[in-house]
A and B are shown apart, each in its own frame.
Chain A
Amino acid sequence: GAVVSQHPSRVICKSGTSVKIECRSLDFQATTMFWYRQFPKQSLMLMATSNEGSKATYEQGVEKDKFLINHASLTLSTLTVTSAHPEDSSFYICSVQTSGRYEQYFGPGTRLTVT
């Protein structure tokens, strides 16, 4: 299966700062990338869907100005958590998919802790 990397794997930041998380598709060109958030002992919640070269589509309740998504190339998407607060502490996971393949491949996740 495709390899998806995320960087960093863990990050601790102070409240009010911004954090950027990278998601890279290493094996194929990902026409679509997804960003999920997972709180402890809960399921994955989809935050947004992004297609290369176009604006991301956010799920209801997700603030697009707070969670900035850039899908600048077919192999890279970034999620920037702006003005992070402790309640943004979570496990952020990206996934990638391309047309013609049925599997969605997930990254290993990034654990964000905001102090």
Chain B
Amino acid sequence: DAKTTQPPSMDCAEGRAANLPCNHSTISGNEYVYWYRQIHSQGPQYIIHGLKNNETNEMASLIITEDRKSSTLILPHATLRDTAVYYCIVRPGSYNTDKLIFGTGTRLQVFP
């Protein structure tokens, strides 16, 4: 069972920041928060992951609350190509090979 909850859909204007929330209130101390996205009819793509500190890479920023019960993925300047389903997943460890359990995700629609 997925251990995260996300809003089913969100809209964002092109060029604006997209803030995608995720609730993971039962997260354990050794579990990381991962974000993937799936563009229509393609395989998922890794975006970012973190444990408790905020993280940033070339694609996005990840903000994790201090109690680690929720997080927000931020796409700073959304483009039409960012339209996709975004999945927030919690998983033990960072370098292990445990499986990913996908929830229903958030369908982000970026409009012109």
Q: Is the CB of A107 within 8 A of B43?
A: yes
Q: Is the CB of B95 within 8 A of A100?
A: yes
Q: How far is the CA of A91 from the CA of B49 in the complex (A)?
A: 26
Number of residue pairs A-B, CB distance < 8 angstroms: 52
Q: How far is the CA of A95 from the CA of B45 in the complex (A)?
A: 10
Q: Is the CB of B102 within 8 A of A43?
A: yes
List which A68-115 residues lie within 8 A (CB) of chain B.
91, 93, 95, 97-109, 111
A67 CB–B CB distance under 8 Å: no
Closest residue of chain B to A100, judged by CB? B95
Tell me the dominant secondary structure on chain B's binding face.
Answer: loop
**How many chain B residues touch A (Cβ–Cβ < 8 Å)?**
21
The residues of A that contact B49 with a CB separation of less than 8 Å are 102
Q: Is the CB of B43 within 8 A of A93?
A: yes
Q: Is the CB of B43 within 8 A of A46?
A: no
B13 CB–A CB distance under 8 Å: no
Closest residue of chain B to A33, judged by CB? B97
